Structure formats: structure tokens, C-alpha cells
Structure 1
Amino acid sequence: MLYALIGAALLGPATLVCLYYLVLTGIGWRPRSVSRGSIPNLRLAILIPAHDEEDGLPVTLRSISESDYPPDLIRVVVVADNCSDRTAAVARSFGAEVIERVDPLLKGKGYALAKGLPVALDGPTDAVVIVDADAELAADCLRKLAVELADGAAVAQAAVAIRGRHGCSVGLIGAVGSEIENGVSAGRDRLGLSVPLRGSGMAFRREVLDSIPWKAFGITEDAEYDAALRRARVRVRFVTEARLRTGAPPTPEAMLTQRRRWRAALHTGRPDGILASKPIVLAHLVATAAITLTTAAVLPVDWAVGAIAWVAGLIALTGLVYVRAFRRVGQSASVYSTAVIAYRLVGVGVAAAVSRNRHWERTPRTADATFVAADGQ
């Protein structure tokens, strides 16, 4: 009985975490039957907060102009926030409405959105879609989001893919992690649960923004507003078919900056809590395996074999989630490459856990323009 209690205390949490990812991604990655839905005729305002984005912004604006959504139903509003480059001029050259915001004391995306939302909602706007200034929207992304809103969703989140992965680089880590996040979100949506906002590709009905004013000014503004939506019992739908691509941090140091900021989102009351941090989850699994192997030496042989087999099964099942994500981003998923990705994620997660961002800090962008679709297109 004592050995059973010890085993449950040690392997129980790791098992629950493993099943969380395995079950949700398994449900989410299965093809769903998509109804044609309503013909979208919503008037959309595309709101783009941009801080020194003269290089990346043309990709975003060009992808919007090439959208299959009726152009007469689209307005593009760019907030050039505390810029020291030609962001505003680039936005105007594409015909966007531009708001130039200068406030060296109040910095961050949340303040830029608060400045831009009243302009985006001014006039006959039915919904606002917020995208980052380095995002590339698939041609049908806006239409898919609009269909979801027209069919009754109050808030919709697009699937986010990462462009610019090379071998076992930071880009590949981001691409794999993003696909796992997409799978988890799709699974949550299939089960009727709300999904977390992801900062870019967020679509809101006007009524939501009117009833829940934007007051998210921290370093994780999307998670803060997501918490406000949960308090108001507003469900965020996940639209697997609406896809956009964004750049990965170009270096491990840049990724650490990004992950430190994301870690703050765990303190906003997300329903999945610490489970949302894949590096921490992997670190926990590694620690569980190490403790199991260490304690196996003092256990009876049958208990030791059972415990080792159990933790080996958890590692294998977790590996399946990563292997599937590798395939979704068009990469081979050898045991070696999966292990390398896991190792680097654990390292970033541990580093992020012991350090902290107290102020908003822009994540450096990658200059790589090789766009990678998660479906291999």
C-alpha cells in the first residue's frame, strides 16, 4: 500500500499532464466537418499595433490586401506606437488609416490597442480583428473568422503558425510549440470550452468591445483581456481553418525574452494554469523520470519495473504529441531531433522561471521571410 501511494504521488501528476496534451491534441487534430455557415458580410476593422515595424509591416498589409474578403468591407487601422522609423509612412503607402502615438512613459501593445480601438470602432464597424505587425494572413483567414462571428461567436481566435524554421533552430522550436498550442486549442473548442487569446488573429464582435472596454495594459495584454472575457462568461472560439503566420524570435536570447513575458500570463487565472507552459511541463516530466529511476533502486523488483515502464510510457506518449507537431510543420521527427527540441525547451523554461520581465519589452523579429504553413502548403 505504501509503494502504491508513493507511486501515485510521483507518477499521478505527470500522468494527468500527459493525458491533458495527448487527449486534447488528439481531439483537436482530427479533421472536423465544417459547415458552409453564413455568407460573411460583416464590416471588419483590422487593427495593427506597430512599434518600429517598417520592415515587417509590408508583409502584413500585403496579405490583407490579397485577402479573398470583400475589400469594401475592410478598414485597416495601424497604430504607429512610439516609432523611431518609417512605420507610419509605410502604413500610409498601403492606404491604411494611421494613428501616431507618442508616449515614452506608457509603453506597450496594450496602450497602443487602447488608442486604436476607438478609431477602429468609429463608424459602421461590425467586428475588429487584431493582428501583429509581423503577421501574414492566409488569403481566407478573414473570411473564416467572419463566418465564425456571423454564425454566433462573440470572439474568435485564428490558428497561429510560425515561419522561418531551420533544422533544430529557435524557429523550429516555435513552430512545433505553436502547432501543439493549436491542437490543444482545437481540442478545447471541440469540448465546448473557451480557448486562450494569442495576441494576433483575434476577432471581436463590436458588442463585446463595447461591453468590455479594453483595460489591459500589462506585459501580457492578451491574457489580461482574456481574463476579463472569462469573468464576463464570454467564450472564445478557435477557428482551425483561419490561419496566419508570424515570425519566430531569431535567437535563444530573444526567445527567452518572449517566454518570460508569456510566463506572466500564467498569473491571470488561465483555466489550464501552469499546464499551458510546455517547457515547465517537459521539465516536470524529466524530473519525474529522474526521481523514478533513482527510487527504483530501493523498490521491490516488480514495483521498480512497473514504475520504470510507466514513466517510459509517459515519455513515449508525450513524444507522440511532438512527433505529430513535427509532421504538421513539415519536418522529420526523429527521436534525436525531438529530444533536442525538448532539451532546449526545458532550458528556456527553467531560465524563464527564474527570471522576470517587469516591463513591456519588444521581442526582436526574425528577418527570415520563408513562410511555412502548418499543413505543409
Structure 2
Amino acid sequence: MGEPEQQPLPKVLIVDDSRMVRASIVKLIRGRFEFREESDGEAGWQALLVDPTIELVLTDIGMPQLDGYGLLERIRASQLSRIHELPVIVISGEEDGGARERARQLGANDFITKGIGATELIARLDSLTRLAQTTRQLEESRAALARQSPVDPVSGLATESYLNWRGEQDMALARRRQADLSVLVLEIDRYDQLTAQYGAHVAQLVTRKLSGMLSTKVRKEDTVTQMTPSQFVVLSPSTDLAGCAAFALRMQKVLDKLVMTYRDDRIRISITVGVASSRGDGVQTVSELINVATARTGAGKQAGGNRVVGDQGEITQEMVDRLRQQVVSIDQALVQVGQGDTEEIVAQLPAVVATLMPLLRLIEAQLGCGIPLDRLSHYNPNSASGNDGTQKA
């Protein structure tokens, strides 16, 4: 029998502009941990990007180019889960309550002073690396479970794999019925700034708030998935671009009135939404449709955020109202009635009536069945009950 395979030692990234401090830490942990040394925060950040074997970060506060607080902010704002979840210990030359509190708010896991003994330092490193390994294993298990389940166990929304599967079914059905399939990509504006200013836990609360709002305001046949900490995708069958844009604009209005408070600070949330439709954009696959909507979300964020973007650029409420006054597809309306989607038809009744009026006049002329043509021809759009989109307000 061969020798049992030796497990690699966990790697610690030591970031300090003092070579002597780095050397003293290395002396204390050598033989128990692998290590990598960097002399400032910027170099430490670059090391994290290229070295996925790093399991813990030990960083000084005062350093050139990028200090310890800046490095910590970048780590907690990272979209890469392997970096975002890394344990971080902040080291300082002296006990400083203000520095400790700021480090904690930015997401530091621990705070130690230089000159700490070997036993205590190793105990803290052991504890945090074990926690990181457990967290990583749980994340891997969650990801494996998510691949087999239609529902993400953390967000409660549909998994990305289910979204893709469901989307292909909806796309095939839309092609057979000559109906529309639309996608919204919603992204929280300035999410990195929110994370850096208030910490990852507050940013996660904002994400959960938006997640809950979306899950209660979409239709049963819609599918919602969280793609990144700040980005959501809504797949909406039998809905055109105008219907999706109307829903996005209503979501913006709801968020405009929402104010979250944290330590006497009032936090306001806004979103940028890209919308795309299979018929309007001539797209044949769900992945293409999501890519088109995502690109429009990116364009909206570059333009300043807090806007809805379609194929012609920013979409306003006036544009949506104008689109809804145009002639509608009776075939699509019948499909929606068959699916029980009466809210959408109620919202479009004026346009439906206007489109059907020539046929109704012919029926009345031939059968004389008492169709109230005068009343229908003067149908007032403002008197229609319901809302202006497929999703619930």
C-alpha cells in the first residue's frame, strides 16, 4: 500500500507594507499554513484575482496605493463568490476601537494587533479556515442541489438551470402559437457602492427585499431567477415588450417610495431594467433573449441608471401608453384568454374592441343580435378596470 495522500496546507495571503511584519507572521505560521506575501492592498487584490488557492486574508490597514479598508471593500463587493466569502483578518499596530468598528462594518471577520502570540494567531487562523472550508462545502452542496431542483434553496426563486429549461418550453410554445415571449433583466443600481458603504449584510437585505417583491408581483406563469447578487431575470410568456416595460416602470415607482433605514441612514433603491421580446427582436433562443436584455440593462446603467431600456433606447410611460393604443393581435389575445390571463386583456380592451369593430359591425348587420355598437365605439380607455400590464401591481 502506498503512503496516504497528504492534504495541502491552507494558504494565507499576508498583505502589509512592512517586510519585517510579514516576516514575523510567516515565522509564526510556517509549517501550519502556506502563505503568499504582498506589500500593498492593490497587489493583494491582484493576487486574489489570479490565485484561487488563497483561503484567508491577513491585511494591514495603512498601506500605499490601496489601504486595508479599500482591499476589504473590494473583497466584499466582489461578484466572485470565492473572493466575496473569504475570511479577512485586519491587523493593526495598536488597539483602536474606531478602526475595529470600521473594519467590522466593512465585513472583517476578526481584528488583531501586531505582536500577537503564535498560539493565539494560529488558533484564529485555524478557526476561520475551517469555517471557510465548511462554507465552501455547503455552497458546493447547494449548487449541486440547485442543479437538480427547480427552486434555489437560498433565494426561493427558480434556479438558473430551471429558467433555461422552462424558457425553451415557453419559446417552443410561443413559436407554435405565434405568440410573444419576453424577458426583463433587472439590476440594482450602484450595488458595489451600497456594499462598500454599508457592508455586504445590508446589501444582501436589499437583494432579499427586491427578491420578495418580484416573487409576489409576477404572474404564476412567469419565472424569476436571481443571476447575481444584484441581478434578476424575469421570463414572461405571452407578453409583449410593452407589457414588460409597463411592469418594469411600475416596479420603479414602487421602489421610489421604498426607504430602508440603517443606523439612522435612509437608503433608497433604484433599478435599471432591460427588456426584450422574441417577436420584437427576432430572437429564436432564450439565451439570446436574455443576452439582448442584459446588454440593454448595461446600456441603461452606463447612461446613469434608474431607467427602462428597450430596442429603441429608454422607455417612458408615455411610450408604453402609446404602444397600448395600437392595434393588438387578436390571436394573441385569444391565447391569453385561454390561459386565464384576463388582467392583460382587460388592460387592452379598448384596443381589442377597436380591432374587432369591423367584424362586430358585420355580425350585427347579418344577424341583428343587438350588439351595442355605439357604446363600444365610444369605449373610454380610462374607464377600463385593471392595470396596464400582465403582472400584478
TM-score if structure 2 supplies the norm length?
0.23
Instruction: Report the structure number with the largest CA radius of gyration.
Output: 2
The structure, 1 or 2, with the larger RCO (C-alpha pairs under 8 Å, 6+ apart) is 1
